[in-house]
Amino acid sequence: MKLSEIKDILKAKVLAGEDDLGRNIVAGGGADIMEAILSTVAKDGLLLTGLTTEEVVRTATISQVGAVVFVRGQEPTARIIDQAKSFNLPLLVTDYSMFVSIGKLYMNGLRGLDGSW
């Protein structure tokens, strides 16, 4: 699924990576615990989280995540956005909860690592 489709489905605002909306996202996962991100999200996958810390960008970069969506309208600081830009990591924010976001993406064909979510 293209990142632009995810943006539309989640009615998300792009914080970083406007030029990367054509990026293909292969799977998705949601986590609010950093350790879970490493086992939840695939390379080129989508991470949904409510955490807006620098560790999210670092962990997403190490995990080779394709993009991060912050849920519940949680927006990171300008410093974190700049950090993501330096790693070419698209960041989006949606007002939907993680539960609703995952449901909407699942209903539109995006799956998790194991084929479910």
Domain with 24, as residue range(s), is 3-107
The per-residue pLDDT for 117 is: 47
Q: What is the CATH number of the domain that holds 19?
A: 3.40.1390.20
The per-residue pLDDT for 10 is: 98
| Residue 26 lies inside a defined structural domain of this protein | yes
| Residue 51 lies inside a defined structural domain of this protein | yes
Q: Give the total number of structural domains in the chain.
A: 1
Tell me how far apart the alpha carbons of residues 94 and 114 are, in angstroms, rounded to a whole number.
Answer: 25
Tell me how far apart the alpha carbons of residues 90 and 2 are, in angstroms, rounded to a whole number.
Answer: 12
| Residue 87 lies inside a defined structural domain of this protein | yes
pLDDT truncated to tens, each residue of the chain (117 aa)? 999 999 999 999 999 999 999 999 999 988 888 777 777 777 899 999 999 999 999 989 988 999 999 999 999 999 999 999 999 999 999 999 999 999 999 999 999 866 554
The per-residue pLDDT for 84 is: 97
Q: Determine contact, residues 25/2, Cβ cutoff 8 Å.
A: yes
| Residue 117 lies inside a defined structural domain of this protein | no
Amino acid sitting at position 88 = N
